[in-house]
Chains A and B, each alone.
Chain A
Amino acid sequence: MSFSRLAIRPIVAASGSRRLATSAVVVKHKLPDLPYDYAALEPSISAKIMELHHSKHHQTYVNSLNEAEEKYAAALHAGDVTAQIALQPALKFHGGGHLNHSLFWENLAPKSSGGGTPPGGALAKAIDATWGDYGAFKKVVNASLAGIQGSGWSWLVKDKETGQLQVITLPNQDPVTGKYVPLLGIDAWEHAYYLQYQNRKAEYFGAIWDVINWKAAEGRFKV
């Protein structure tokens, strides 16, 4: 995001109390609505997990991102490079958390809305060409998920330069950036499965395929 897109102006809080004139505001991010009910992904993902994951975890990333961006805008305004660099980890972590979860909710769908239906069209062809077939592809993703040491995500991505598909893992909330377009992400943080699966994370990685929304991935693949 370029500096020019940040709207720099003094904040006047809703109460009318004035903040420091050096403060600045940027467009606030908002928690997106889930496109289905919290219970809609059961039995693969429990309603309790979905509710906490969306209304607590994702909300916290949104709040903390807004806070970090506000501080960042002030640092930009003040020409304070040290403060900008110090804010980088927070921006990456909470910004990544917001991006990743926003993509993730769209990547999922109840079975009644096509969740779990294997990919079709050009994406299916590309998956077959890359890994042989859908089953082999799922094994590759599951192996990548199982190999994550600590909190992180696995992604099916498209390389913008070559058009090739690839499975990558990223730690913590690092978002997919650069030459890769994220098509499908699977959250391997413990908060994504622990209440239901505890240490049996392989069961979660097996069950999530029943609620994958390949239509969303196909749409991202076309762009």
Chain B
Amino acid sequence: MASTHKYTLPALPYAYDALEPYISHQIMTLHHDKHHQAYVNNLNAATASHVQALEKSDVQAQIALQQAIKFNGGGHINHSLFWANLAPASSPSAKTEAAPKLMDALAEKYGSYEKFQDEFNAVLLGLQGSGWGWLVKKKSGELDIVATKVHTFEAMIVMMREDANGLQDQDPVVGAQPVFGVDMWEHAYYIQYFNDKASYVTGIWNVINWEESERRFLEQVGQLKL
């Protein structure tokens, strides 16, 4: 049987308690060691099964595996991006000054950084169930805020959002560059904030890694190593 790439859990680039008081030590430990690890394990199992299905030319089995690969692969991609786009609040990376070009682009697109935050917060709090909010750079170079349900960043299923005319926008964004993402699954905040997800959303702005976000915005990061 052909061997397949083994995905591994990336180490956190800071200590488990480094994002306190905004994200607790306990959340980070569970989120990284248990949840992310489970996505990695399940992705490895699914890709190994896919190799077997390919060898047997079993198309049905390959299609049946798509959901598991999308879900667990998405979980691995999203969390890997997420850890890297967070930073301890006291670090220089967590200051908006670390992203001068991105800040200019946000001000141009949204009017001001504060207005961008308001809009981003509204998208995060408008998610119905588990999902993520992302700032992305589209192929056109334009910034956009998208919400993705479950773990489908690659597919970029953009949830219905009202535009200025009150219409629904379901156009999928394809091939966008993620600048930073915020996990809105309940496991990302529940043991610290309970049902008060607005406080989690308010707090997380203190630990966004603007240095990393600037690099992604300027497309200096290359492809995500998984």
Chain A residues in the interface with B (C-beta under 8 A): 52, 56-57, 60, 82-83, 85-86, 89, 93, 149-152, 171-173, 189-191, 194-195, 198-199
Contacts and interface: CB of A to CB of B under 8 A. Distances in A.
Interface in B164-215: 166-168, 185-187, 190-191, 194-195
Contacts of B149: 150
B53 interface: no
A59 to B, nearest CB: 9
A194 B162 CA distance: 32
B34 interface: yes
Contacts of B194: 52, 56, 195
B195 A85 contact: no
Given A60-B195, A151-B130, 12 more contacts: A52-B194, A85-B168, A86-B167, A86-B168, A89-B160, A149-B151, A172-B129, A173-B129, A189-B186, A191-B195, A198-B30, A199-B35
B190 A83 contact: no
Contact of B150 (A82, A86, A93, A150): A150
Contacts of B168: 85-86
A78 to B, nearest CB: 13
A199 B34 contact: yes
Nearest to B26: A198
A199 B162 contact: no
Looking at B162, B168, B190, the one whose CB has the most chain A CB atoms below 10 A away is B190
A198 B34 CA distance: 9
B71 A149 contact: yes
Given A52-B195, A151-B186, A190-B186, A82 B128 contact: no
Interface residues of B, number: 25
Top-8 shortest CB links A-B = A190-B186, A172-B129, A151-B129, A150-B130, A150-B150, A199-B34, A56-B195, A93-B128
A81 to B, nearest CB: 11
Contacts of B150: 149-150
B187 A194 contact: yes
A189 B67 CA distance: 19
Nearest to A89: B160
A46 to B, nearest CB: 12
B218 interface: no
Given A151-B129, A151-B130, A190 B34 contact: no
A85 B167 CA distance: 9
B105 interface: no
23 contacts: A52-B194, A56-B194, A56-B195, A82-B166, A86-B168, A89-B128, A149-B150, A150-B129, A150-B149, A150-B185, A151-B129, A151-B130, A151-B186, A171-B129, A172-B129, A189-B129, A190-B190, A191-B186, A191-B190, A194-B190, A195-B194, A198-B30, A199-B30
A62 to B, nearest CB: 13
B131 interface: yes
